[in-house]
Structure 1
Amino acid sequence: MTTKMLPRRKRITSPTSIVQLDYPDHQPSPKPAGSYTRFVLISDTHSQVFPVPDGDVLLHSGDLTRRGTLRDLHRTMDWLYALPHPIKIIIAGNRDFALDREWYDKNWEHTGHPGKPAIWEHPDPIFELLTGSRAKAANVIYLRDEKYSFTAGGREWTVYGTPRSPNFGARVRAFGYDSADATSMVSAFPETDILMTHGPPHGILDQTTHNAFAGCPALTSRIISLRPRLHVFGHIHESRGCYVHEWSEATPSAQNPASRRIAEDEEKIGGNGQQTIFVNAANTPKLASGGVLPPVGGSGFQPIVVDLLN
């Protein structure tokens, strides 16, 4: 299997999709036509707020919070409620501790930080933010290992969302799973237009600053069978980016280059065959650019905008 090294680019176009990774003043180019549906992708926002472009659907792939507290989640959800997108679909991530109650009730004492010990928090007000009256009024859909159908852009779409990511290294966080359980877990993922996972597939935008590949091999194998049009994830912040895989090629494997400098304005993909767009949508920077860490949601870590032909 050959790993494709992706150029840094602002935009990727194909006959059935347009992806905008970098755009000025938080204003991406308009949707090309009414026959497209605009998806705005974010992840790993860690209780930070920033400008988000409008679109038909907002997808958040987890790590809504920094420490998983009610206060953290309040800040995030107040921000999401106010965004204009007609549909907002969200999943949790490994930092959203209190949303994984089985894990949280065993580990809550370890979720504090120096100088601020953890306090156990009741689940009711936390889940009220995700599924209560305010969430419903704002058209927020919270998914945990479930499939959902919705209408946007003049057609029906399906999405499957899971908060899970592989246990990696010594730390075990919320919604983690061991490699021994991975195959049985991903085998339950159904066919869907859009797949949302918190963790990445192995070999696709999953390389860490220590040159480890933190993605899940079982997930990569499952995607070869499912072939969704769009797979959104996060978790490995430093690998934020996009790869469009044409299924006439070999097993998907792609990583970003070491340099964060934009190499080309636009990559054009000419194939008309079946494609999957893989997006690591992490918004919290991990790599400094020129010695200066950009702000959350800032240049190089903006929301990624994907227009799909209906």
Structure 2
Amino acid sequence: MASPRQLSKPINKPALPALHHLSSWQGSSSLPSAVMETRFLILSDTHATAYTAPQQYADVALHCGDLTEKSTLDEFRSAIQLLEGVSAPIKLAIGGNHDFTLDTPLYKQRFDQASPAQQKYFKKEYGDVGEARRLLETAGITLLDEGTHHFRLQNGASLSVYASPHTPIFGYWGFQYPREQGHEFDITGADVVMTHGPPRGILDETYRGNEAGCTNLFGAIAQARPKIHCFGHIHEAWGAKLVAWQDTNVESSYSTSVDEKKSVIINSLKGSQGSEELMDELKAHQHEGYYATSHCTGDPNPIQQGKQTLAINASIKGRGRHRFQLPWLVDIELPKTD
């Protein structure tokens, strides 16, 4: 099995001003020949724990939801403090099911249905409707609603991100839909897909051995084939896999869409338990405080546009001695801006 190239020396760049968020920008559908190596710091499911992010510089930081445990204002302040310590000029986040006050329609409904005494408590603990979002945005953290967003990065690259916080119902939380009803993930032209939950069959296995990912999301990813799909939600399924896609026109399923022989496990909690090589690599990265992998031209496993997707479960909060799992530091190539 090929192993990913280790990143070179730490990049200690100064903080840069905010980037341009161009949600309505319409770029060319053809990929420019010139590309820029771009570094992402990817994390998820920090749950307002006492976690400290690594100081490695990244062009973009991505948080895939569950910034909090109970969606309180104090927890959002803790999450903001964590992200303020990240060395990246642009910080993008989505909500997770635990961040239910970011689900504005849901929180407004619960607030309006509450008694005056309950509303007083809600305001104290959770804030007014929209208050948590304003805290994030005031701190320079861009909270992405569901849909496709476009950015021009300071390194000269163009970035398109599809974001969705929605997951199948599990408990009385936010951004949820009935699994049997499904959800439409309208992914078009995205370099990176950020979702809170995993797709069915990819880094979604629970401790009980169940696949907890979404079938609709898998189908959308198999169709869109972005360079990166990052998520969290299933903490014990932490890891990264370079998924190779089959050339097929049949309805998307794991067996008909994924070329398992050509896919590469970068590392995972489950994979490291059965591989001495992966366990040694994981221990080495734990000492560094992040897991670095590069997939650019000249690397052992450069991402092939439309043929591969780097899937990353970046859940930070772990269990027992794995209290904190590693964030991912990832280099890929993006097109230069026109």
TM range (shorter): 0.7 to 0.9
Alignment correspondent of 1:227: 225
Which amino acid in structure 2 is aligned with residue 280 of structure 1? N
Deviations 1:36-72 (A, max 9, x none): 1000100000112313232111000000011101110
Of the structure 1 ranges 97-106 and 248-257, higher mean CA displacement relative to structure 2 is found in 248-257
Of the structure 1 ranges 233-242 and 157-166, higher mean CA displacement relative to structure 2 is found in 157-166
Question: Which structure 2 residues correspond to residues 90-169 of structure 1 after superposition, within 5 A?
Answer: 90-106=93-109, 119-120=122-123, 121-132=127-138, 134-135=139-140, 140-152=141-153, 153-168=155-170
Bigger radius of gyration:
2
Verify the 8 A CA contact 2:46 2:316 in the aligned structure 1.
yes
Please state how far the C-alpha of 1:272 moved relative to its aligned partner: 5.1
Instruction: List gaps (5 residues or longer) in structure 1.
Output: 1-6, 21-27, 109-117
Verify the 8 A CA contact 2:205 2:234 in the aligned structure 1.
yes
Which amino acid in structure 2 is aligned with residue 54 of structure 1? Y
- TM-score (norm: length of structure 2): 0.69
Verify the 8 A CA contact 2:73 2:132 in the aligned structure 1.
yes
Which amino acid in structure 1 is aligned with residue 82 of structure 2? W
* Identity of matched residues, %: 30
Of the structure 1 ranges 87-96 and 240-249, higher mean CA displacement relative to structure 2 is found in 240-249
Which amino acid in structure 2 is aligned with residue 295 of structure 1? R
Match of 2:271 among 236, 254, 257: 257
Please state if 1:278 is matched with 2:278. Answer: no
Deviations 1:180-215 (A, max 9, x none): 4325x22x2333110000000000000001111110
Q: Secondary structure at the match of 2:135?
A: helix
Which amino acid in structure 2 is aligned with residue 226 of structure 1? A
Alignment correspondent of 2:287: none
Please state how far the C-alpha of 1:151 moved relative to its aligned partner: 2.3
Q: Secondary structure at the match of 1:179?
A: coil
Q: Secondary structure at the match of 1:295?
A: coil
RMSD: 3.1
Q: Secondary structure at the match of 1:12?
A: coil
Question: Which structure 2 residues correspond to residues 45-124 of structure 1 after superposition, within 5 A?
Answer: 45-48=46-49, 49-52=51-54, 53-106=56-109, 119-120=122-123, 121-124=127-130
Of the structure 1 ranges 208-217 and 146-155, higher mean CA displacement relative to structure 2 is found in 146-155
Question: Which structure 2 residues correspond to residues 180-259 of structure 1 after superposition, within 5 A?
Answer: 180-183=180-183, 185-186=184-185, 188-248=186-246, 250-252=256-258, 256-257=270-271, 259=273
The CA distance in 2 between the partners of 1:162 and 1:225, in whole Å, is: 16
Please state how far the C-alpha of 1:248 moved relative to its aligned partner: 4.0
With over 3 angstroms needed to count, the CA separation of the structure-2 counterparts of 1:105 and 1:272, relative to structure 1, is closer
Greater relative contact order (CA < 8 Å, ≥ 6 in sequence): 1
Please state how far the C-alpha of 1:260 moved relative to its aligned partner: 7.4
Please state which structure has a larger fraction of its residues in strand.
1
The CA distance in 1 between the partners of 2:239 and 2:330, in whole Å, is: 12
Verify the 8 A CA contact 1:242 1:279 in the aligned structure 2.
yes
Instruction: List gaps (5 residues or longer) in structure 2.
Output: 12-34, 112-120, 248-255, 283-292, 294-299
With over 3 angstroms needed to count, the CA separation of the structure-2 counterparts of 1:174 and 1:275, relative to structure 1, is same
Deviations 1:262-310 (A, max 9, x none): 5244995478563100000000013x4xxxx2332xxxx1111110023
Alignment correspondent of 2:289: none
The CA distance in 2 between the partners of 1:271 and 1:82, in whole Å, is: 30
The CA distance in 1 between the partners of 2:144 and 2:304, in whole Å, is: 32
Q: Secondary structure at the match of 1:182?
A: coil
Verify the 8 A CA contact 1:57 1:87 in the aligned structure 2.
yes
